[in-house]
Structure 1
Amino acid sequence: MLLTIDIGNTNITFGIFMGKKLLRRFDIPTDKLGYATFKKKLGSFKPSQAIICSVVPKVTRHLKGILSRMLIHPLIIGKDVRVPIKNLYRKPSEVGQDRLVNAYAVIRLYGTPAVIVDFGTAITFDVVSKNKEYRGGLIVPGLKISLEALSRRTALLPKLELRAPHEFIGKDTKSSMLSGIVYGFASLTDQLLSQLKKDTGKGAHVLATGGDVSLMARYCRRIDKIDETLTLKGLNLIYGEAKKEISKKV
């Protein structure tokens, strides 16, 4: 039983796999990770192996300590195992490992060429060529941090939780903020996806994932498919490939 772990700036997403089957998925806020919380979320499942993709090194170390108490020694993407994809970034080491994992998952599960949009703390757009190469992409601020910035950097705008707007034209400050964020980022997303698909070439499809994808997919018109567990599936696939390589060396 394999525990796949995607450590993000806002949330840590866990997936428990038996072979190709995802048995359970759960989230823990990144700043709330602790042994007791993790054990409670894990429930009766007893994974013996783990693989981690992280953009928060400090939390990676903390989680490794928690897993060691359970006699689990995880593989770390980018350290113990590399994502098996040709990376065309000018400085390959600068690419977030989660972006490469998503690209690899799309290659294996959905085909290329493809554009991936990940609605996370930041919104990332990633391009995979028809030759299965990671070409690069774009990074823009995410919805929640943009909404937070409005309240933090202004004197009169309130703090709000991100949710679906009830109307396009806001009739008060709160509804105006929500409409601006959701419809504004939906328009931005559609425009960028349109340009990226054109640049990527004939047959390019768009796959969306990330914590806010269920909300944004309702407002974006350029998304072809949604996979909320894309990163977890990619980690499961990469772990399988890593085990094959280890077996060859034995």
Structure 2
Amino acid sequence: MLLTIDIGNTKISFGLFRGSRIIKKFDIATETYNGRGLKKLLGRVPISGAIVCSVVPDKNRVIKKDLAMITGKRPIFVGQDIVAPIKNNYRFPKQVGQDRLVTAYAASELYGCPVLVVDAGTAITLDVVSGKKAYLGGMIVPGIKMSLDALYKDTALLPRVKLSKPDSLVGTDTKSSILSGVVFGLSVLLEGMVNKLKAKFGASTTVVGTGGSIHFLSRDRKVFTHIDPDLTLTGLSLIYRKI
């Protein structure tokens, strides 16, 4: 069985694949990850290999060590041991997060091109893959939780708000006003950005939504052609099978 790992700023996502099918997945907070309990979460499933993409270099060494001890195998890191199999047209190719390349590759393989990927994580990224399967670049904006935290940390009186789906468009107290403004505001922002990109790359461009917060931003499904919350993990499995 293949173990795929996506090390993000907020959480580390793990996915176990049997062939092309994900059969188990779980998350561990990135900040508190120390390897304890990972073996128990994985269980006694025989692991044939492991592949990792990471945007948190400080966690790479401990993940590599833990996986080697648990599985007896050295994990493969995208960007270090192999490159994502997609043409990278970014002006400075090394600046692109490996998760963005993996997800863009997965979307191009699974849903065709041209394709636009909206990944709602700690930050929200929009990435474009051309009709010739080349990664062109995209946009980066603050994510939902980052926006909520900024309002709390950078003001004197606004409260901390826990992320949830807003009950209504118009907030009736400070907390519901913040929640509505951030969630619906980012949803409208994404809709406008997607429309601008589709005007540039073609109205038939496929739009795929993914990431841990995508369900908060995908109430209006007209923006998205597909919602695929496991796109990065699936991309890692696709890359591993090409090795």
Q: TM-score range by the shorter chain?
A: over 0.9
2:156 aligns to what?
Answer: 155
CA contact (8 A) 1:122 1:142 kept: yes
1:204 aligns to what?
Answer: 205
Is structure 2 residue 238 aligned with structure 1 residue 237?
yes
Deviations 1:55-88 (A, max 9, x none): 0011111111111212121000001011111111
TM-score calculated relative to the size of structure 2: 0.97
Q: Secondary structure at the match of 1:109?
A: helix
TM-superposed deviation, 1:146 = 0.7
In structure 1, the gaps of 5 or more residues are: 243-250
List, as ranges, runs of 4+ consecutive aligned residues in structure 1 with deviation greater than 6 Å.
Answer: none
Distance 1:45 1:34, change over 3 A: farther
In structure 2, the gaps of 5 or more residues are: none
Q: Secondary structure at the match of 1:36?
A: coil
2:114 aligns to what?
Answer: 113
AA at the equivalent of 2:215: S
TM-superposed deviation, 1:34 = 2.4
Number of equivalenced pairs: 242
TM-superposed deviation, 1:159 = 0.8
Q: Secondary structure at the match of 1:35?
A: coil
Distance in 1 between residues matched to 2:46 and 2:212, nearest whole Å: 26
CA contact (8 A) 1:114 1:200 kept: no
CA contact (8 A) 1:186 1:220 kept: no
1:11-22 to 2 correspondence within 5 Å? 11-22=11-22
1:122-201 to 2 correspondence within 5 Å? 122-201=123-202
Q: Secondary structure at the match of 2:139?
A: strand
TM-superposed deviation, 1:40 = 2.5
TM-superposed deviation, 1:35 = 2.4
TM-superposed deviation, 1:144 = 0.2
* More displaced stretch, 31-40 vs 4-13: 31-40
Q: Percent identity between the aligned chains?
A: 49
Deviations 1:117-142 (A, max 9, x none): 00000000000111111011000011
TM-score calculated relative to the size of structure 1: 0.94
* More displaced stretch, 9-18 vs 44-53: 44-53
1:224 aligns to what?
Answer: 225
Give me the CA root mean square deviation. 1.1
CA contact (8 A) 1:189 1:220 kept: no
TM-superposed deviation, 1:202 = 4.3
